[in-house]
Structures are given as structure tokens and as C-alpha cells.
Structure 1
């Protein structure tokens, strides 16, 4: 989180270049490894390990760890899937649970020491998850209604005079086929980029004021450090909120795909 001084000294503010780290293995190949890919692998491994341990030690009377895992799973099942999808919830629950915890874990890496960057702050992972949702809501909608029926349900809203379809249908087409997946990915990525830049700015300024600034300016380190700690706590809140929003919208889109009218 420290903005290094560089050869010329002085404070160097964070830039977008931080989200494109140099490769350290397999450079120039589809298997290129860089810092963000490594962070994603670490987050995935930790998440899988936590749930494997909780599942293997499951008991009729849950212990503390099992109780936390069950509460987290129930949050997705009840507060997202059931409240949004009703009788369709059970069908899509595994997908929604996977999305929620994957996004949450990869968002939280932004405040984990030594990792220090949200692995969803590079758009590749959000795009993969958004594409999954996109393919699924198209597939389940077409499977239930057929291609013609699905297009009719989504592009020709009932109750409108036919003459208005000339205006409404192109807008609905953009919403279904472009805006939904695009906004899912962009919303998540933009929030994680902004959070990382703010944290780097605060802690980089603290480093500068404390070790490089002279005189009374050193006192400003306390202010920037306090801001950094406050924004770290706020970033934890944002990480959870973005995981919830992404999963909730995924549930809404899936439910709209299989409902008769919306």
C-alpha cells in the first residue's frame, strides 16, 4: 500500500498502471502469471479450504465455525435467492452462492496485508462472472419459452400500443443483451479500482509525510493514516455490499428470464 519514492524521491500518487503488474512467469502466453492472478488463486484456495473444513466437520449441533458458515450460506439462500426468486430459488442457489462468495473473497483481498489489491479490480474476473450470468439467463429463458417466446417476453412489453414498439424494442434489446452484463462487470470493477486508489493514496501520503516531509508537515501523517484506516474499514463494507449487489442483480435477471411477464 506504500507509494514508493522512486529514484527521484518525493511523493508519487497512485496510477492506473498498478492494475497491470508485470508478469513473473509464462509471460506472453495464455497462462501468464502476475500479481493479480496470484491473488485470485490465493483467494480461491482460501475460500475452498474454509468451506471444505466447515463441511468435513459438520455436526448436528454446530460449532462456532460451522455456525458462521451456515449463517453465511443462509444469508444467500434466504435474503437473496428466496426473497428475489421465490419458488425458482432452489434451482439457481448453487450458482448464486458461488458468485456471492467468489466476489466477496476477491473483493476482500484489497484489505489483506501482503495481497493489498482486490482481484476484481481488473475487469477479467468480473467479466467472466457477468458472462456466466448472461449465458445462464439467456439459456434458461430460451429453454422455457423457446427463442421466439423469450424474445417476445423481453422485447415486446405487454400493454403497449404496437406503434411504440418501434421505440421500446431497441431499448429493451440493448438492456437485455448489452447493458445487463456490461453494468454487472463495470460496476464491480469501478468500485474496486476506486477503493484501491484511495487506500494507496492515503497510505502513500502517510509514508511521504512521515519519512520524507520536513518540519510541521510530518504531523499530517497522523491525518492521512487515520483516513487510511477509516477507508480500509469502509472498503470492507464496500466489498460485502458489491458482492451482495452483484448476486442480487444476477438473481433478478435469472428470475426475469423464467417469469411469464415482467
Structure 2
């Protein structure tokens, strides 16, 4: 976290949205090549390497990376894929495991020393991932049921009088084709954005009152900042895992809705 740039005066200044502004890594180079982009590329490389180490030469009795890889695979299969996709779960495990691991590694980048920036706190990355799932959902729905059949399945309102369709159908269509997309990536982005700010704030408090402006009265505040940084880091790691799980779970639900042609 770039907290040191915030301590430039005689008064404590809480970190703000400037934590999410990044200059190009190479001065004068491509503007898009920033720290979040580099971390996203690093995350992909790391995931590929871990999966290769776990599954390239599987053994009957798993050990080491294979053991960790199979644990992750079984977790996603049993807790994410099967509850929504049933017998089709195994067909989609490659995608769902990739989504889960990608979001998890993105998030964990926020607690790795000297890196300390969760990729998903940059809205473009969860947005692109959510749009990919959204496009797949619509594609599967149209492919398996046709445009008319898919829309009919989405707005299926059995038992309601005809006049009610004019009220509920637009709401259901908006939820299926608009709200679902935004809630998919906004939830992940907002949690990582807020968590990064909180960690930056408490670590800045500890640094300021214990190192920059050490006073008798400020020691207690500085120690509190350090303690809160440790506690919030542990809590944030739980949130990072939870958000990866929820993102993959929603992805499996959206894929299932496309296959079944229903809301």
C-alpha cells in the first residue's frame, strides 16, 4: 500500500482514492501498462504454474501441489458446480475452477508484502470477468432454447393474470439481463475497494503515530492502528476467499440459468 506518499505534512492525512490511481510502469510507455495490469498478468501466470504443478503428472496418491489442487477442485465441484449444474457440473469445472482461482489470487494480491493491491479493487477487471460470464449465459440460453423460448422461460409467470405480465415481465427482464450483471461484479469490486482502503487507513495510523510523529499521547493510537491492521488483514483474507466463492457460485448459477432457459 502506498501509504508513505500520504504523509507529507505535519497533520495526519487519511488515505483516499489516490491509492487506486496508477501511472504507467514504464515512463513514456503504454498508458495501459500499470500496476493492476501487471498484477493481473502475474496472477494468470501463477495460476497456470500452480495448476500445471498440481495436474500435469497426477499420481494415484496425491501429494504436495497435487493434493492442494485436488482439494481446490473438489471444493469448487461440490460447493459451486454441483448445487447448480447437477449432472452437467463436470463439463463446466474447467471454467468455474479458473474463475474461482483467478478471483482468489486477484484478491490475495492485496495482502502480499510489497504488492498489496487487490486486482479486483480496480473495477475494470471484475467487470470484464462478469461480462464474459454474462455473454456465456445469454449464448447458452439462445443456443438451447432459441430467442423466443429463452425469453419465455425467463419471464415465466404461471398463474398470474394477463395484465400482471405488463408489470412483472419488465422487472424480471431487467433483473435477468441488467441487474444480474452489475451485482455480479459490483459486489466483488466494492468489497475489495473498501477493504483496501480500511487496511491502508489503519496501517497509516500505526505508521504515523509510531514512526512519523511519535509522542507519549500518540503511542496508544499507533498501537491501536497496528493491532487493527493485523485484525483487519485476517478478516480481509476471509472476505477475499468468500468473494471468490460467491463470484464463482453466481457464475455457476448464471450458466445453469442459460442451460435451463429459466430465470
Q: TM-score range by the shorter chain?
A: over 0.9
Task: Give, in whole Å, the separation in 1 of the partners of 2:189 and 2:65.
Answer: 31
Matched residue pairs, number? 261
Residues 1:177 and 2:177 aligned together: yes
Task: Give, in whole Å, the separation in 1 of the partners of 2:157 and 2:259.
Answer: 15
Quote how far apart the aligned CAs of 1:129 are.
0.8
Q: Is the 8 A contact 1:2 1:204 kept in 2?
A: no
Equivalent residues in 2 for 1:55-204, closer than 5 Å: 55-204=55-204
Task: Give, in whole Å, the separation in 2 of the partners of 1:237 and 1:226.
Answer: 17
Question: Hey, what does 1:233 align to over in structure 2?
Answer: 234
Quote how far apart the aligned CAs of 1:261 are.
4.9
Identify if the C-alpha distance between structure 1 residues 193 and 163 changes in structure 2 by more than 3 Å, giving closer, same or farther: same
Cα offsets for 1:162-190 (capped at 9, x unmatched) = 11010011101111111011111111000
Residues 1:259 and 2:244 aligned together: no
Task: Give, in whole Å, the separation in 2 of the partners of 1:186 and 1:261.
Answer: 23
**Where does structure 1 differ by over 4 angstroms across 4 or more consecutive aligned residues?**
26-29
Task: Give, in whole Å, the separation in 2 of the partners of 1:77 and 1:232.
Answer: 28
Identify if the C-alpha distance between structure 1 residues 260 and 23 changes in structure 2 by more than 3 Å, giving closer, same or farther: closer
Task: Give, in whole Å, the separation in 2 of the partners of 1:229 and 1:147.
Answer: 52
Of stretches 211-220 and 123-132 in structure 1, the one that deviates more from structure 2 is 211-220
Gaps of 5+ in 1: none
Q: Is the 8 A contact 2:141 2:261 kept in 1?
A: no
Alpha carbon RMSD of aligned pairs, Å?
1.7
Identify if the C-alpha distance between structure 1 residues 6 and 222 changes in structure 2 by more than 3 Å, giving closer, same or farther: closer
Q: In structure 1, the residue corresponding to 2:110 is in which secondary structure?
A: helix
Gaps of 5+ in 2: none
Task: Give, in whole Å, the separation in 2 of the partners of 1:2 and 1:197.
Answer: 11
Task: Give, in whole Å, the separation in 1 of the partners of 2:57 and 2:216.
Answer: 57
Question: Hey, what does 1:250 align to over in structure 2?
Answer: 251
Quote how far apart the aligned CAs of 1:112 are.
0.6
Quote how far apart the aligned CAs of 1:123 are.
0.8
Quote how far apart the aligned CAs of 1:227 are.
0.6
